[in-house]
Each structure stands twice: as C-alpha cells, then as structure tokens.
Amino acid sequence: MAETDRSTMTAVVHEGREGLDGVRVDAVPVPAVGEHDVLVELRAAALNHRDLFIVSARSEADSRLVLGSDGAGVVRAVGSAVRAVAVGDEVIVNPSLGWERADEAPAVPQVLGGPTDGTFAQFVTVPARNVAPRPSHLDWTEAAALPLVGLTAYRALFTRGGLRSGEHVLLPGIGSGVATFALLLAKAVGAEVTVTSRSEEKRRRALELGADAAVDSAGDWADRLSRPADLVVDSIGSATFESCLSALRAGGRLVTLGATTGADVRLSLRRFFLEQFSLLGTSMGSAEEFAAMLAMVDQHRLRPVVDRSYALADAPTALADLAEGRQFGKLVLTMA
C-alpha cells in the first residue's frame, strides 16, 4: 500500500451548533485506509442541497462530521485487497454507499457526507468500488459536479420514469443541479423538454442548454405547454404537486425525488385512477446506474453546469449562497 506522508488535512466540518452556524473550516486527521478502501486527494467537491439538510438535522450534541458527498481527485493510497484501482488514478467518487443494483430500493440510502465523513476536505477515504475513472472530457470542477446529480437524474428519468425518445418531459424548477443535468440527459435521448422557473434568467439559460420550451412557473402550467407531458420529474414538493398532475397526459408518470416546499399533498383518488396516472418515488441510485450514467456522459460528451467555484476555505459562504437558491447549476469547492 502506498502511504501519504500527511497526518492532518483541511476540512469543512459541522459541530457544536445547529444549522450553518455549526460549519467551520478546521484541521482534522487524514482518514485511515482499510483493506478494501482507497484514499483520494480531492481536487474539487460539489455542494448539494443535501448538505443543507444534513446540517439542519444535526444537534449540538452530535460529533464532528466532515461534510460533502461529491468529489473528484487523484488516488494516493489503496488498501491491501484493492486490485482494480491504482495510486495515481484520476477518479470521481460515487457517493451512494452499498447500493449495487438498480432493482434494489433501500429504505434509507447511505450517502457519503453524513453519517460518514465526506468530500469537503483535502482527502477522503471510500470503498474502492465507489470510484470510477474521471471522464476525459471533464475538468476537475465538472467531474466533481457530476456524481450525485447525474446518478439521481439518471434513475429518475430512466429507471423509474421510463423515458423514451420522442416523449415530452417536464422539469419544474430549472436551475438546480439535478434539473439541469436531467435536461441534458433527456435531450441526449431525443426527448422534448419543457422547464419551468419564476426566473426569466434561468428560463433563458435553460433554452440555451437545449430546452424546447421554458415557462413561468407562476399559476397553472397546463395551458402553457405545447402538449401534455408524458413524464414529470419534480423535486419541489407540495407547492408544485397539483400543477405537475395538471400537466400530465392521461396515463402519464410523475416521478418525485424531493419535497423542498413541503412533503404533504392532497390527492383526489378518483381523478388519479380515472386518468391512470403513475406516481413514482426515487432517491439517488445504485452502482449499476452510476456506470450507465457515466456511459451516457462519455457517449454524448455531456458536461454538468457549474455556476461558480469557491476555495475550500470559503465553504461557509458557498453553503450560504446555496441556501439562497440563486444559482443555475452547481456550486463547487476547489482544493488547489
């Protein structure tokens, strides 16, 4: 096993206070490497709304946690049982832990960065099966921005949503990392894509990315669509649920993967069964889907949208900016 000569590293941790007030940059030990693990020296790490959920759910009594789920970097050490990964490999990290097959559905998916230490650091240790070669056409910030949103969008669109070429997919709330990458994936397979946003700037940028239409999300969207949607992929929750159903064709599918505006909705079962809707839940994804997503990224030369980059030391500011929700695409930390 090759060893790093460093005993401590700079990391973004949460401890001692609830919410963003408990976030600080600190020196912590470089993580140990087990026999099936690899140690990755990170070049970049991307923020996700999950990071905000993690810090809001932790209490003052919780032990120190290194935040972050997404990352990309260079392998610096490998465990004694590792054969498929070598020191010096340039890799991206799959943050979904212990989820191997697409047909599995863990009740609570285990994700890097809570409860296990994550990627907002100079180094991270992960199982060797949780790294993959960095796509050659992506720079470090793009590579770091890809894993969580790419995996989540792929499972939502294809494994759960069954999206096919020529279908019409609606993506409410364009601007998030998942929605922007779902737009790219859907266009890559020949789907028609409509997005919604209250922001004129976000609608404009979505059209530049290839969206076929972009509509103001105020009010009911159904009468502003070119045709009813075959598939809606929504992460907003209660605020958009009724509009999502109104936008669907009879027999259409609604995939839900978040509830940022609330988890409770009212549903008319009569309308639901008469119009033969399908309501499908999803979260993150498996190693099998991660590999399939990477194959699509390579085939179509897809690039995640990176809005801004910050130095690792500026992570508290980046998290506060993420909470404001003004970004289009991903916010990324760089370690250089």
Give all strands (DSSP E) within the chain, no chain letters: 8-14, 23-29, 37-46, 65-66, 72-78, 90-93, 96-97, 110-111, 123-127, 131-133, 168-171, 192-197, 213-216, 229-234, 248-256, 278-281, 306-311, 330-334
Q: What is the pLDDT of residue 280?
A: 96
Evaluate if residue 279 carries a pLDDT over 60: yes
* SS3 assignment, position 122: coil
Give mean pLDDT, residues 112-139. Answer: 97
Q: What is the pLDDT of residue 76?
A: 98
Share above pLDDT 90 across residues of the chain, in percent, rounded to a whole number: 86
Of the candidates 109, 131, 101, the one whose C-alpha atom is nearest the C-alpha of residue 40 is 131
Residue that wins the pLDDT comparison between 316 and 107: 316
The whole-angstrom separation of Cα 172 and Cα 259 is 12
Q: What is the pLDDT of residue 3?
A: 45
Evaluate if residue 254 carries a pLDDT over 60: yes
Q: What is the pLDDT of residue 2?
A: 45
Q: What is the pLDDT of residue 258?
A: 83
Give mean pLDDT, residues 28-43. Answer: 98
- pTM score, whole prediction: 0.95
Do the Cβ atoms of 237 and 254 come closer than 8 Å?
no
Q: What is the pLDDT of residue 138?
A: 98
Neighbours of 94 (CB within 10 A): 29
Structure tokens at 308: 């801004």
The whole-angstrom separation of Cα 32 and Cα 273 is 53
Give mean pLDDT, residues 239-262. Answer: 91
- Average pLDDT over the chain, rounded to an integer: 94
- Read off the pLDDT band of 131 (50, 70, 90): very high
The whole-angstrom separation of Cα 315 and Cα 333 is 7
Q: What is the pLDDT of residue 265?
A: 87
Give mean pLDDT, residues 165-181. Answer: 96
Evaluate if residue 1 carries a pLDDT over 70: no
Evaluate if residue 74 carries a pLDDT over 60: yes
Q: What is the pLDDT of residue 268?
A: 87
- Read off the pLDDT band of 176 (50, 70, 90): very high
Q: What is the pLDDT of residue 263?
A: 80
Could you give phi then psi for residue 184, rounded to 5 degrees? -65, -45
Give mean pLDDT, residues 249-270. Answer: 89
Give mean pLDDT, residues 148-160. Answer: 98
Evaluate if residue 244 carries a pLDDT over 80: yes
Structure tokens at 290: 């991660």
The whole-angstrom separation of Cα 195 and Cα 179 is 9
CA count, 13 A, side-chain hemisphere, 182: 32
Evaluate if residue 4 carries a pLDDT over 70: no
Q: What is the pLDDT of residue 220?
A: 77
Please spell the DSSP secondary structure of 214-246, one letter per residue.
EEE-SS--GGGSSS-EEEEEE-S-TTTHHHHHH
Q: Which domains does the chain have, with CATH numbers?
A: 8-146+304-334 (3.90.180.10), 151-281 (3.40.50.720)
Evaluate if residue 264 carries a pLDDT over 90: no
Q: What is the pLDDT of residue 246?
A: 92
Of the candidates 98, 103, 16, 109, the one whose C-alpha atom is nearest the C-alpha of residue 59 is 16
